[in-house]
């Protein structure tokens, strides 16, 4: 599924440049993606788009601290939680965007979520909202996980 998401990001500059879901599914199939993965990716992306639309309609700001329940800690893992906190402190993610990232990560039914996949979730959220991360953030989102030292929260 994540290969499809990255393909969409690289192929279509904006989400509104994507064809309708049925036509997109045919194009993805013609490129060689598996039908089951295509279906999963399109459902996941549709859910992301709906959540992102709700986020854009809200303008509430949060000044509180986000506490993660045990299930979220188990599914996300410390590296993902640290990365989310880093993105929020760098103002790449708003508190509402953070919640969308967490929800989409929990929807994967994978534990713990791979940091690389979490980065793709963040990138797809920004893409779905028509926002482009700055160059340094882009490098951080697409940089190799092995090259990075873990971020410490102080």
Percent of the chain exceeding pLDDT 70 equals: 79
pLDDT, tens only, 32-61 = 999 999 999 999 888 888 887 665 555 555
pLDDT, tens only, 90-125 = 888 889 999 999 999 999 878 888 888 999 899 889
Length of the chain measured in residues: 154
pTM: 0.75
> What residues have CB less than 8 Å from 141, skipping those under 6 apart?
119, 122, 123, 133
Domain ranges in the chain?
Answer: 2-142
pLDDT for 76 equals: 93
Q: 64: cis peptide before it, omega within 30°?
A: no
């Amino acid at each position: 599924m994540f290969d499809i998401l990255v393909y969409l990001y690289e192929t279509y500059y904006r989400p509104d440049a994507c064809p309708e879901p049925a036509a997109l599914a045919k194009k993805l199939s013609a490129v060689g993606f598996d039908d089951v993965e295509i279906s999963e990716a399109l459902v996941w992306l549709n859910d992301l788009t709906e959540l992102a639309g709700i986020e854009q309609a809200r303008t509430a700001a949060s000044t509180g601290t986000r506490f993660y329940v045990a299930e979220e800690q188990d599914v996300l893992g410390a590296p993902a939680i640290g990365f989310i906190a880093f993105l929020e402190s760098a103002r790449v993610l708003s508190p509402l965007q953070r919640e969308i990232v967490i929800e989409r990560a929990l929807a994967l039914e994978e534990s713990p979520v791979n940091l690389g996949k979490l980065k793709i979730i963040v990138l797809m959220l920004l893409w779905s909202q028509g926002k482009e991360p700055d160059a340094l953030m882009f490098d951080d989102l697409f940089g190799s996980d092995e090259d990075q030292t873990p971020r410490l929260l102080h």
